[in-house]
Amino acid sequence: MLRIGTWRSAESVDVVACGWRDSGPGQPRTGIKLIYGIDGRPIPDLDGLRVATLVARGAEEIAELLFDGADVVFTAPGCCPAAPVVAAGIWHYGWTRRDRGALAGATVAGLALAAQPGPCSVEIWPDGRSSLDGDVTTAAVRACLAAHFSGGRYRTPEVTVPLESVRLSQEAPSRIGIALSAAAR
């Protein structure tokens, strides 16, 4: 399973840290990967880490840099807020454009994660199902998602997700399950 989290504070850059508890296809790639959004704030000193020299503009570019061995990837302003989560799934599970259900699930999980104001995490399974952990409720997550879905759909270069396909369930006071109906596949 793939676990992705954020931490935010006024003095830091937003960060998505991806930790692995299992291995994906090919050689095992375990550890921590950092994906920073560049938005004019100073970039922290990252001595000892392999920093990508290119700034990624979307999920496929982020994943490509992770496949190339980068420990840290920077994203351009205006990058899809779900892109880091989708990219981590592509890198970890080896998803391709044929894995529409998994990509759609990761897109919804990424949007839900990006909308949270404080520390939060998602766990993503190989089929794209996920759970969101933090100070969250289904009503708040549904409202955040609805704000992103123009005309009832969210489009990325990889997939289009209809809002009516999103299934949220409050699994615990601080945990929401995220799944998609067959309409998103």
Question: What does the domain layout of the chain look like in residue ranges?
Answer: 2-184
Of 32 and 117, the structure prediction assigns the larger pLDDT to: 117
Question: Would you state the pLDDT for residue 168?
Answer: 97
Tokens for 86, please give them: 């989708």
Average pLDDT of the chain? 84
Between the ranges 38-42, 103-107, 181-185, where is the mean pLDDT highest?
Answer: 103-107
Q: Evaluate if residue 150 carries a pLDDT over 90.
A: no
Model pLDDT, residue 53: 86
Check residues 34 and 181 and name the one with the higher pLDDT.
Answer: 181
The tokens describing 34, both together, are: 């950092």
Over the stretch 112-142, which tens digit does the pLDDT of each residue have?
Answer: 998 888 788 999 999 999 999 998 899 999 9
Closest CA to 90 of 78, 107, 74, 114: 107
